[in-house]
Structure 1
């Protein structure tokens, strides 16, 4: 990977010439470290990740508390405290593994990707694309999502992926270069709707990670596990507006360390005369699908994210919501319907 080539386009425009030079130097150093790390055997990496994850869990009280609060919100009395804590510990190990596997993205090829990942259910995506309206892929921060998208582009076809730029643009340049190695095109989340519509009209595949909290004006409040969650409405609005099929996908780490990527059948879209209600119902349906993935392999989801951060009472600070567990709020949707 050449920092003066692929990375250059990601850091252009950040600061003056001296600052950009320092950034390129930093990227070259990080790139060299990644290249060296890519030679570490997978078995050794997994053992290292177990130790790193255990230390991270003990030292990072902030994210440990976030994960435990999320687990409590999601599972309630379905699991004991000991069971939630056991999942939490595994979450830190899983994320440590994902981060330590990052260098492998440098060496992934069509010939060797079978050592890291397998695919099943791809026919569901192909059948959806044969309709000629493009495809919306419902993805989430599950398993090793970065490996999944890159491997799919190498093994099958490049896709379009909606991403939120990282706050640190040096890391953003590195990650985005790895993401696009197989030909994937990255769409910045802000102002992405027009680009998504254009790609769907061209019958292309667009993936959105729809499992994270959003501000109230970008979402709808619908159930996720045992609580309502402010859920991104973009997938539902786009599916209703364009008729593009929605195909869910997830990947999970198996006992041998390889990832299994599973495409599931197209999700039927609810379509009535009530557009706002349809958006809510479809967003809730997408949440149920993602929840199903998580219930199968709870330790492999990103529990460190504050999924229930945006709460309904923020719209009406003086109104008590005591007892209104399933309150649904209908914010304006003009930004995506126009």
Structure 2
């Protein structure tokens, strides 16, 4: 019952936020995030630990400012789920700028894996793409089944085929071979299974090898993309890069290292927008102490 009441208020709030002007919603989110960063919390501690590990040469004051800016973007992104999940297609379409190095919707290019990363605006970019072209997406299960159903339903509202991350590999392969691109993100610590330790900002990070294995099995090209928050409360920019040449290379560890190196380059361009609230270094190589 408690979960159902919580879901009712969540949906009501998101619908209300969808009705507000985008800039109002974004400004409220930024201010609320800055306020919440002042309150000691487990998530703030995770952010501070991640920034200390990844930017050891920066001053404590600089990392504090970066952490506050990040918290503002994270809370803003939660509020912006309103327009992403309940706003009309036209409103979302107007908020996203597209820059693509490849021709989109070209089924003759063969199977395509769109490799995303957990920047705060990833949801907006994925949903914008689904308005334009057929696509499938891997999703992770949530601890709250009602919230998971809500997220799955709203993310699929423009026709996205939702595939559980721990579901059938065959389903993902069928989707790719049918000509429908598959969107996924592999930059989180999902545990030691099907993962290797490779550097991320010179810190050993437990990194999934699923991207290179799925690409090898399907013959798919791997096309990275990022979605960034534009300044001046103008919306977002979806940037789609060229396919990674020679990927996969036949060495899963080398592929994981290359993926992390590409991600690190993007993070350096907009460090406040990467999801530092996640415990990216949750699992440690044998013999190393926990960091959180």
TM-score of the superposition, structure 1-length normalised?
Answer: 0.79
Taking the aligned partners of 1:102 and 1:61, their CA distance within structure 2 comes to 23
1:49 maps onto 2:22 in alignment: no
Find the counterpart in structure 1 of residue 109 from structure 2: 131
Question: Which SS does the other structure have where 2:81 is aligned?
Answer: coil
- Following TM superposition, by how much is the alpha carbon of 1:121 offset from its aligned partner in structure 2, in angstroms? 0.3
Change (3 A) 1:269 1:125: farther
Taking the aligned partners of 1:23 and 1:95, their CA distance within structure 2 comes to 23
1:74 maps onto 2:58 in alignment: no
CA RMSD of aligned residues (A): 2.2
CA contact (8 A) 1:124 1:264 kept: no
Unaligned stretches of 5+ in structure 2?
none
- The match for 2:176 among 200, 219, 222 is 200
CA contact (8 A) 1:151 1:182 kept: no
Q: Which runs of 4+ in 1 moved over 4 A?
A: 22-29, 124-127
Find the counterpart in structure 2 of residue 299 from structure 1: 272
Taking the aligned partners of 1:25 and 1:83, their CA distance within structure 2 comes to 41
Find the counterpart in structure 1 of residue 65 from structure 2: 86
Unaligned stretches of 5+ in structure 1?
1-18, 323-338
| Larger CA deviation: 107-116 vs 65-74 | 107-116
- Following TM superposition, by how much is the alpha carbon of 1:102 offset from its aligned partner in structure 2, in angstroms? 1.2
Larger radius of gyration: 1
Find the counterpart in structure 2 of residue 104 from structure 1: 83
Find the counterpart in structure 2 of residue 244 from structure 1: 220
Find the counterpart in structure 1 of residue 284 from structure 2: 311
- The match for 1:118 among 97, 102, 115 is 97
CA contact (8 A) 2:54 2:202 kept: yes
Find the counterpart in structure 2 of residue 329 from structure 1: none
1:259-311 CA distance string (max 9 Å, x none): 00000010013566xx4xx1111111111111111110001011011101111
- Following TM superposition, by how much is the alpha carbon of 1:256 offset from its aligned partner in structure 2, in angstroms? 2.4
Find the counterpart in structure 2 of residue 149 from structure 1: 126
TM-score of the superposition, structure 2-length normalised?
Answer: 0.91
CA contact (8 A) 2:113 2:220 kept: yes
- Following TM superposition, by how much is the alpha carbon of 1:218 offset from its aligned partner in structure 2, in angstroms? 2.2
Find the counterpart in structure 2 of residue 34 from structure 1: 14
Change (3 A) 1:124 1:233: farther
CA contact (8 A) 2:86 2:154 kept: no
Change (3 A) 1:97 1:29: closer
Find the counterpart in structure 2 of residue 265 from structure 1: 242
CA contact (8 A) 1:143 1:259 kept: no
- The match for 2:143 among 167, 188, 192 is 167
Question: Which SS does the other structure have where 1:38 is aligned?
Answer: helix
How many residue pairs are counted as aligned between the two chains? 288
- The match for 1:220 among 189, 196, 215 is 196
Taking the aligned partners of 1:138 and 1:264, their CA distance within structure 2 comes to 10
Change (3 A) 1:131 1:56: same
